[in-house]
Chain A
Amino acid sequence: MNRLIVSPSPHVHSGDSVKKNMYGVIIALLPALAASLYYFGLGAVVVTLTAVVSCVFFEWAIQKFLLKNESTILDGSAALTGLLLAFNIPSNLPIWIIIIGSLVAIGIGKMSFGGLGNNPFNPALVGRVFMLISFPVQMTLWPKPQTIQLEYLDATTGATPLSIMKEGLANGESVSAIMDKLPSYTELFFGNSGGSAGEIAAAALLMGLAYMLIRKIITWHIPASIIVTIAAFTGLLHLSSPDQYAGPLFHLLTGGVMLGAIFMATDYVSSPMSKKGMIIYGVGIGIITVVIRVFGAYPEGISFAILIMNGFVPLIDKYVKPKRFGELVKTAKA
């Protein structure tokens, strides 16, 4: 007789898979990738390829030689980490630094904890911040965006809007005076400004967000709470002293806020599990980002903010549980 398969229930599955989610995010990143290729040309190609290839390679090598377990490189998470790492660094970064960054991201940030699903911190950001602190010189030289450029290491460099703002304010210039030196909001929206390879085009990133929301890869809670918090906080500051603090739109469209809020803070592994927790997490990221940007030494703070809140995720998960059925009791009238 045909041997029957037995297993505990349920006997059907939604068909969702880790792979589908990861490749879904990669697809969502394609518009931003296109924008970065458009503005940074060869540099973007080199940086992206190096990061993706080395992340996947390191994951494979560590699993093969150190952990001696089954390889999971095909699930797309390493490639995604590589892609996001590439999106977070200048497109003229020397290859050897990118390789170190990938090693740190995958080796320290992910595989030391046992691989996919175990890492408390966002691997790509671990890699990025490690590089930022280790190689501050190279990590703060931003190539100027221009249509289809073919230079890589010797691309002309310029400051990011955020550092121009920070420098300007430090020199006592007023916000409006500095804004005149900067690209318009529309230009910022479509990515025509200096910055990391993948962070510049808010429009492209928002397309990715829409895609992920529709495919139900992520929920709105984290991105929305980050964006709203940043807008509200900078809005308040701006209202209190318009000459000292740039407005919300500026903060949202510059630097990595969009990339961070949409793609990095939402990383499943290092974000909270409950909706309430996600909102707390998002609000925390928003506040810390603004504090670092406005009061701290770094012009940009979202990477740090996400990492810091990653640290709090276990606490959030422990004390902020999803609403349980029957918790809010509506009993019968006695």
Chain B
Amino acid sequence: MNQWSNFSKGFFKENAVFTLLLGMCPTLGVTSSAIDGLGMGLATTFVLVMSNLVVAVIKDFIPDKVRIPSFIVVIATFVTIVEMTMQAYVPALFDSLGLFIPLIVVNCLVLGRAEAFASKNKLGASVIDGLGMGLGFAMALTILGSVRELLGSGKLFGTIIYPENYGMLVFVLAPGAFIALGYLIAFINQVKKEA
């Protein structure tokens, strides 16, 4: 597999959200606005890249049976780092992402990539994989966030597109998250079929 396709698969072909349906909780939970989605996506990307990197480095030293706990420790470390950094430097984002930051730890995507890719591949490929999957995840979250923000409050990244009065509040709330994602996936499936 060449590096470009290794990188780009995360955006479409193996997109974590749209095709693999991994990490659904943050996908639904923090996408009430595009910016939150983007922030969460980037945080996840960071953890993904770093943990892939570390796992690729240490993979040969780890006995098989403690593979998973070791990976968990690695991932959890980076999650905590993200947590503390965000709290220090972007407190507002930290507040709005809330519980979902520590939950990056259990995002199947992160552990899954470490397990399925980084533990079997070379360093470079692992980092690129992490970057691709992570950015793909971030892209998905941003798209969903944009859709919800636009439909729900008439804004996009905080800029007013049309008066808020015309927005459909549901999309900011829980039901809207499910519904918007449902139709988004249906739409993407359709596009994929035609492509």
A binding-site residues for B, Cβ under 8 Å: 96, 100, 108, 130, 133-137
Contacts and interface: CB of A to CB of B under 8 A. Distances in A.
Contacts of B171: 134
Contact of A133 (B165, B166, B169): B169
B179 A108 contact: yes
Nearest to B169: A134
Identify the 3 closest CB pairs spanning chains A and B, nearest first: A134-B168, A134-B169, A134-B170
B156 interface: no
B68 to A, nearest CB: 36
Contact of A100 (B165, B168, B173, B175): B168
Contacts of B167: 134
Binding site secondary structure of chain B: helix
Contacts of B168: 100, 130, 134-135
A136 B179 contact: no
Contacts of A136: 169
Interface size, B (range): 10 to 19
B170 A133 contact: yes
6 contacts: A130-B168, A133-B169, A133-B170, A134-B168, A134-B170, A135-B168
Given A130-B170, A135-B168, A136-B169, 9 more contacts: A100-B168, A108-B179, A133-B173, A134-B167, A134-B168, A134-B169, A134-B170, A134-B171, A135-B169
Nearest to B152: A134
Interface string B154-175: 0000000000011111110101
Contacts of B175: 133
B44 to A, nearest CB: 30
Task: Choose among A100, A134, A135, A137 the residue with the greatest number of B CB atoms under 10 Å from its CB.
Answer: A134
A136 B167 CA distance: 11
Contacts of A134: 167-171
Contacts of A96: 166
A133 B168 CA distance: 8
Contacts of A133: 169-170, 173, 175
Contacts of A135: 168-169
Task: Choose among A96, A133, A136, A137 the residue with the greatest number of B CB atoms under 10 Å from its CB.
Answer: A133
B160 to A, nearest CB: 18
B91 to A, nearest CB: 30
Contacts of A137: 165
A79 B30 CA distance: 38
B165 to A, nearest CB: 8
Nearest to B173: A133
A135 B153 CA distance: 11
A91 B169 CA distance: 21
A186 B175 CA distance: 39
A136 B173 CA distance: 13
Contacts of A108: 179
A272 to B, nearest CB: 24
A136 B165 CA distance: 10
A133 B179 CA distance: 14
A130 B169 CA distance: 9
A133 B176 CA distance: 10
Interface in B171-194: 171, 173, 175, 179
A137 B166 CA distance: 11
A100 B168 CA distance: 9
Task: Choose among A108, A135, A137 the residue with the greatest number of B CB atoms under 10 Å from its CB.
Answer: A135
A106 B179 CA distance: 14
B101 to A, nearest CB: 28
B19 to A, nearest CB: 20
A34 to B, nearest CB: 33
A108 B175 CA distance: 12
B170 to A, nearest CB: 5
A136 B170 CA distance: 10
A108 B176 CA distance: 12
A253 to B, nearest CB: 30
A209 to B, nearest CB: 31
Contacts of B170: 130, 133-134
B166 to A, nearest CB: 8
